[in-house]
Chain A
């Protein structure tokens, strides 16, 4: 890794606390003439959507005009998601009504993709609908690096895991799929991307000019594909990530995570294939990369994991001699 890449983690990792001054942020946004759209993709989220729309709209549109457009794009909820969202002032769309000529596919990625067409902003911020401790930081923490640093085009969220907090150390903050699937895969094939602490988080903000240039898997692979495709196009330097502290959301069953992993693997291998990494397999990395956060500093832990192998026993002369002598 070059010098530049060594310090990406320090230069492009933020904490939301750095952006508390929303008046200043709104001024900077207006000075640059940027418009920001907020998009929440939904499917049956009546329990949490009301609070998200109420808090984000009143804080980030009414009190501080950081967000110019607030849309809920729905995959056909059967509960009161749309009624509640519209009651609290969100623009509500059915994904199937947008760009009807391309047809309708059902999945979160579909809603994110169609948002690019439906929404007007120069920056689009995506926030999942299932956050039960919603707070304005989930939006301003992600759009602030885009407002302040022109070279940054895509900002991912990461969170802490309060479970292990008592030890004083916070682990890298991934969910189970991140730790078991994505981080090992990135360590093997895209070691630079392993610096993204929470590659699967559903909260991110990006400039229209990059979102419109990449394909969108409609299912579980959308977050992974964004990282791989934008990395291939622009490299690590245009990414940033923001620590949003704690995020509380519902727990998924192991079965659901298996399904999610299957979708991610499809997306991943499609990219490996397209980038020629499968046909001409490079030497696999032996460094496993994960993270530690301590006192606001982010430290990458690199551990060499060499899976040495022994040949089949039958190839060992001593073994064969043992067989014949007995």
Chain B
């Protein structure tokens, strides 16, 4: 036993710099594997941290999170499959750029936007953790309802042409979100006496099914193989490009900050919202969806910001705002560290190593990202049947690892088929995913508010945060509707002319 103990000690008592870079590398690889989300990547490494020094263990987990948020964009751009939930928004323009033969540029933009987002997030984490912890406290159930509605209000602009089809898809998503145990009364709904459905349909299954499996199915049907056999070189964006992207990156950083602070959201909502906002404020909104650099920069800056700012409510209140921070919370508790106001006084060393470790990982990300990219590109350039088979196996094993459940595999495969049929019929899948992700939060916070108020809807107008969020949502809806109408009219006029 002594030798094993010695080996474990040797492996774990290495300096923080090694721990950070190891965490980052594992994070990028895990994030890059479709179906393996940031939280799964972190959960997989969790057992290895049992015997580590608590400060290093927590720093390692934080660095895995950072790496996974960047890693997720690699398959999003290269094979139209988000590696993590929060890189789903990157698929839209990232993959489009890849089709135009600009995959290298897209990857470079994703990498640099991620670094900027991470640095911004870390700065915010260090500066705001203690002062801003009141924000988490100010959120009542009514405010959460406002937040959920704000998230849903972007559906209109994600429907890609047909608002009706988008709303239909979103409704199906909301319906899927009602499966499981009722969040307020505890009554089971639509579970058909199947115990596996008690916890509901996990959003990750919907995302993997609708994005990844659907894509594999469509790819298998297409005979066009030329686009993937090109030699892709990573191209870091020039200063001029970075200058052009600064507005979208700024939007990503700010929304990432808010999303990280407010529990319930996580990186995916921040990424979608910043994509939407970047489009709204862009000088070239017509490029979005057709290969816009900004469409990659904004969500990637946002999800990397969340990887740091999500630690703010976690460390100051012990409230995990995403699945990944829930894993991190598990890691903290495992080492006897209880997050909360006193963590900063009692375990300053842990806090310091999170800050220092994250900084090392962010800087190393540029180097490690470049070193790992060719490996990923090599993978993408393998013959399609091999690659598709490999990805299929990876996705399925990733889903299985989630709960060791064959039932989950069935759900994901069924949703893959649904997504394939939706694509044929021209229904967008993004609104459906948003419905599943947000439906639960909207429903439970709505009903919880009404329990509090005794059924009086005025509670939503008495809460200042709820009022602010609902007003912004209303503005979003009005703006995107008017844009929809304007665009439709323009297209009709153009069609009439031609």
Note whether A and B form a binding pair: no
Residues of chain A at the chain B interface (Cβ within 8 Å) = none
